[in-house]
């Protein structure tokens, strides 16, 4: 046995030497490559590795060594979490689940050869590819803004350094200054996210800069949990927040990062912080793989497979799947359906029917939490909503505090489900 194995390894090395590009080879097992180590990708990798018990070779490609969750990053801006508590290592996925964690960028997909090319030059062969790349921003979505201005006008819509930058700018605002947000058009990651952020920024400003103002330019008529947020803003931050909707030019926005101005419908506002959250699209690798249509990657609800390539699955924010909001919870839920289907396809294990769920908690002020959620099923056409609920206005303080506590428990739960 040992002898045979040595022979095999030896000949494999010779073969590899003959190839033009270095290949990362598995040992005859079916291979799954997962691109993106967030709520979709980390969960999918973990479930496939865990449930296949070594029968499937799983590689996870994720550039960052410490993953800072975007969910709960608003709580950092409100002073309710420190950044360290939002950071997670991939060590357990590698050590306890045997996942090959590769810290690199996926820069190419050859769908005929079924390989993924990495920025470092390696090439990873796959039997199934799972893309969970999150979001990127649409070029030119906000006039005057591009990625080179993200230091002057942060988006802070991917967790980590951008969030820390935005926080530093908020703290450094002059007394009575203005924090402005350019809110994104639908569809985008985390529908209540911009408005929870407004709440958390207001909470911080109320403490350190109580005469400061918050200005929102919003291209949308309505937004997620609107009644709940507006009630909360009235109760906790009266007179601080002004939102300009599309009727008053909220969609007609120009920014000047050098002059720190935000023009709404031609009206120029001098601002001290400008949080530009541009229109979004699927993470770039989905577009490179050629499986997007418009901004997103259409998928079959039953197993999250791409409508353009049956060997590629797309999870989370990047997918156009139907009724689910783009959220970490949704991505985590879709990942488990996908993992079950991929395992079934590659090893013949039982494939159970797809079922999805989502719940999003938002914090409005200290101990004032609200939530919205729904269940979903797979239809021929899309992921379709089955049932749902949303917190009510006028709920008791006790219930709101319990909802917040629950969200803290959920955070611990989902990161345990993602990272082991």
Partner 1 sequence: MWRLFLIALLGAAGTSQAEVGGDAENGQTLFRQCSGCHEVGQGARDRIGPHLNNIFDRPAGAADGYRYSAGLQRAADGGLVWTYETLDDFIENPRRLVSNTRMSFHGFEAQQERDDLLAYLRQFSASPGNIPEAAPTAAAVDHAVAPEVLAIIGDPAYGEYLSGECTSCHQASGATDGIPSIINWPAGDFVVVMHAYKEGVRAHPVMQMMAGRLSNEEIAALAAYFESIE
Q: Where are the alpha helices (DSSP H) in 291-327?
A: none
Q: Are 43 and 418 in contact (CB under 8 A)?
A: yes
- Cα–Cα distance list, 259 to 40, 176, 270 (Å): 39, 19, 8
- ∠ at Cα 406 (241, 224), nearest 5°? 40
The token pair at 363 is 């914090």
**Closer Cβ to partner 1, 187 or 373, answer by number:** 373
The token pair at 10 is 């030896």
Residue of 231, 254, 257 whose CA lies nearest to 391: 231
**Closer Cβ to partner 1, 291 or 415, answer by number:** 415
CA dihedral 400, 402, 404, 410 (to 10 degrees): -140
How many other C-beta atoms can be found within 10 angstroms of the C-beta atom of residue 127? Answer: 17
Residues in contact with partner 1 by CB under 8 A are 47, 51, 329, 332-333, 336, 340, 350, 352, 355, 357, 359, 371, 373-375, 386-389, 391, 405-410, 412-414, 416-417
Least distance (Å) from partner 1 to the CB of residue 227?
16
Least distance (Å) from partner 1 to the CB of residue 352?
4
**Closer Cβ to partner 1, 150 or 407, answer by number:** 407
**Closer Cβ to partner 1, 196 or 272, answer by number:** 196
* DSSP one-letter string for 13-57: HHHHHHSSS-B---SSS-EEEEE--STTHHHHHHHHHHHHTTSSE
Least distance (Å) from partner 1 to the CB of residue 377?
8
Least distance (Å) from partner 1 to the CB of residue 123?
32
**Closer Cβ to partner 1, 243 or 336, answer by number:** 336
Least distance (Å) from partner 1 to the CB of residue 155?
26
Least distance (Å) from partner 1 to the CB of residue 174?
38
* DSSP one-letter string for 211-237: T-EEEEE-S-S--TTHHHHHHHHHHHS
**Closer Cβ to partner 1, 17 or 394, answer by number:** 394
**Closer Cβ to partner 1, 115 or 334, answer by number:** 334
Least distance (Å) from partner 1 to the CB of residue 413?
4
How far is 146 from 112, CA to CA, in rounded Å? 34
Q: Are 216 and 244 in contact (CB under 8 A)?
A: yes
Least distance (Å) from partner 1 to the CB of residue 44?
11
**Closer Cβ to partner 1, 130 or 255, answer by number:** 130
């Amino acid at each position: 046995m040992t002898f045979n194995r040595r022979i095999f390894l030896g000949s494999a090395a010779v073969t590899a030497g003959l190839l033009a590009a270095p290949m990362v080879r598995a040992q005859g097992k079916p291979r799954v490559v997962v691109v993106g180590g967030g709520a979709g990708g980390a969960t999918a990798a973990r479930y496939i590795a865990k449930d296949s018990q070594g029968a499937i070779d799983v590689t996870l490609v994720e550039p960052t060594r410490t993953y800072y969750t975007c969910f709960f990053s608003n709580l950092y801006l409100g002073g309710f979490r420190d950044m360290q508590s939002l950071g997670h290592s991939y060590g357990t996925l590698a050590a306890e689940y045997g996942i090959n964690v590769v810290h690199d960028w996926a820069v190419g997909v050859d769908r005929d050869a079924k390989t993924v090319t990495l920025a470092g030059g390696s090439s990873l062969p796959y039997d199934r590819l799972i893309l969970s790349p999150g979001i990127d921003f649409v070029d030119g979505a906000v006039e005057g803004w591009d990625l080179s201005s993200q230091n002057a006008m942060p988006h802070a819509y991917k967790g980590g350094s951008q969030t820390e930058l935005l926080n530093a700018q908020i703290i450094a605002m002059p007394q009575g200054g203005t924090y402005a947000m350019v809110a994104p058009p639908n569809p985008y990651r985390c529908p209540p996210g911009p408005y929870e952020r407004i709440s958390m920024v207001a909470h911080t400003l109320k403490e350190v800069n109580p005469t400061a103002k918050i200005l929102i330019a919003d291209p949308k008529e309505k937004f997620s949990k609107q009644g709940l947020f507006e009630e909360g803003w009235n109760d906790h931050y009266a007179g601080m927040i002004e939102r300009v909707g599309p009727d008053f030019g909220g969609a007609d926005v120009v920014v000047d990062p050098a002059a720190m101005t935000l023009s709404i419908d031609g009206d120029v506002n001098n601002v001290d912080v400008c949080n530009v959250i541009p229109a979004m699209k699927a993470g770039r690798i989905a577009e490179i793989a050629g499986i997007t249509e418009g901004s997103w990657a259409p998928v079959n609800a039953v197993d999250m497979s791409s409508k353009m390539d049956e060997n590629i699955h797309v999870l989370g924010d990047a997918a156009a799947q139907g009724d689910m909001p783009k959220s970490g919870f949704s991505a985590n839920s879709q990942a488990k359906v996908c993992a079950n289907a991929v395992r079934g396809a590659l090893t013949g294990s039982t494939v159970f029917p797809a079922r999805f769920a989502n719940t999003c908690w938002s914090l409005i002020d200290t101990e004032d939490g609200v939530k919205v959620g729904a269940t979903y099923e797979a239809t021929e056409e899309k992921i379709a909503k089955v049932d749902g609920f949303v917190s009510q206005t006028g709920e008791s303080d006790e219930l709101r505090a319990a909802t917040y506590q629950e969200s803290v428990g959920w955070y611990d739960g989902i990161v345990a489900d993602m990272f082991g």
